[in-house]
Amino acid sequence: MPRLVEMASVIRSKNAGPLTISFDLMFPSEAAYSQAAQSAGLTPAALAAVFDRPAGEIKVTHYAAALAIKIAMPRAVVSGSPGDRDVYGAQQHLPLLAVQV
């Protein structure tokens, strides 16, 4: 099984407000998108294990027309608060790189 980093053309994270982090996954072809969209590695349950969060907090949205998948979950620390090491949420996607799809 390939890793997400080998399939996606874009893997990025960003704040979706101060309380939520979102991840954008974009794919270069319908085949790559379809494989990822059907993968057990990109379900809320699987992502809960990757990010050590409850599966019920993770929302996975598929955008077939754009060959993209968006993942959203609460931030571990409110953006800009003491202890926040990534105010913009731009460095939180690293654990996704190794996810198998």
Tell me, yes or no, whether 76 lies in a domain. yes
Asked if residue 97 belongs to a domain, the reply is: no
Q: Is residue 64, in this structure, part of any structural domain at all?
A: yes
What number is the average pLDDT over the span 59-83? Answer: 96
Residue 101 belongs to some domain of the structure: no
Q: Could you list the residue range(s) of the whole structural domain that residue 35 is in?
A: 4-83
Structural domain includes residue 99: no
Which residues are paired to 15 by β-bridges?
21
- Domain count within the chain: 1
Residue 37 domain-assigned? yes
* Overall pTM surpassing 0.75 (yes/no): yes
pLDDT tens-place string over residues 24-41:
999 999 999 999 999 999
Is residue 81's pLDDT more than 90? yes
Q: Does residue 49 lie in a domain region? A: yes
Please tell me the predicted confidence (pLDDT) of residue 16: 95
pLDDT at 1: 86
Partner residues linked to 17 by β-bridges: none
Residue 54 lies in a domain: yes
Residue 22's pLDDT is what? 98
